[in-house]
Chains A and B, each alone.
Chain A
């Protein structure tokens, strides 16, 4: 983990908050996608490569689930920001596994916190049911701003706690080289299984499966040539 002064730490919390808001509440501009969240977090930490390595890893995990309707899914945005901060400034082969472990725990917590915000939103609506039934526009606005505020607080809290955990891990946990590398390989393997499983599921058995296979063949050829 790079030495984090107050300014980058605050920037990371701010970025984590925006990323958490983007997932569902506003503006769904896809800055919550790990590939974006990680790249910007890497840039803030002064290690863009770490951001891309962590971002791509969590993007593979995120491709497993389509966040549609009322589906429950992990929140990979703040998790990617925190994991990038932990991985920054160290050789990725040894840092990626441990940061992925922390990020995955945070992603699960982020998903649970999203359920909590949704329940709190429902409770707020019940409290203002009479005003809504009377067609009061001000009640709608208050509910909307309250929902956004709750989600922003969720993101800020999640990122702050995550950064604190990252700082403790960086200060206390010392892994030998082979364990650190093993963790990275396990994390990469699991991420690849998530993305491949998601791609196969969404491909079904029709034309899309044939295009998936064609893409894989082209990708393999390019990987050999590159």
Chain B
């Protein structure tokens, strides 16, 4: 796979042109460019068609985009019909989005953040921040390299390769870890902020927290936690202004 490392680096900017029409499409085209270079000499017409296809609508979790990029590039070199490549690309959007989001956004990231926040609250200061960055980026880089290679090696059979891979098992394991880490962090962080404030202040803060959970659940998207927070801050300032 010539241009693999350049494609991997470019995948880091896959969301550089994110928009509501093609989503990651142009970013995929940008990452595909070095991989398709050899096709220019083999079949220039096919190369032009492949470049056009590479910028079409696409969306998935950016950390797993390499699977789709590798698979569609391999299919271009294997001279698979363009319509089939376009169908593969469309078919990969949802599974790669769902798997990547569960693995990273709902799994690894909250798990690492939970442990990092707990460690800071226990007095560890800055090193949990470095640990979080190091662990996440190593995991993400290894996943990205694996994804690009697996996609390229599998071509049109990438779906079966994903089903056989380590990803479904990792998702099943990392979810509970994330739950545990967040559960661990919340009381520790709350104590970190409220220690030394006094019982009245601590109880008032917990009452605000309980109210926030209740009303944001009740009102859903109409009252996000940020809106609730701004409203609460505004009410406090008004109250203090009227009753100094």
Contacts and interface: CB of A to CB of B under 8 A. Distances in A.
Contacts, number: 305
Interface string B98-133: 000100011001100110111011110110010011
A24 B140 CA distance: 15
A212 B179 contact: yes
8 contacts: A25-B13, A125-B22, A147-B18, A181-B201, A188-B190, A189-B207, A196-B209, A208-B179
B61 to A, nearest CB: 7
A142 to B, nearest CB: 10
Nearest to B227: A108
A52 B110 contact: no
Contact of B230 (A55, A59, A101): A101
A108 B49 CA distance: 41
Interface string A196-215: 11011011000111111111
A47 interface: no
Interface stretch (B25-33, B77-85, B151-159): B25-33
Interface of A is mostly: helix
Interface stretch (A2-10, A26-34, A154-162, A164-172): A26-34
Contacts of A137: 33, 51
A212 B211 contact: no
B17 A125 contact: yes
A132 B22 CA distance: 12
Contact of A192 (B19, B22, B136, B205): B205
A57 B236 CA distance: 19
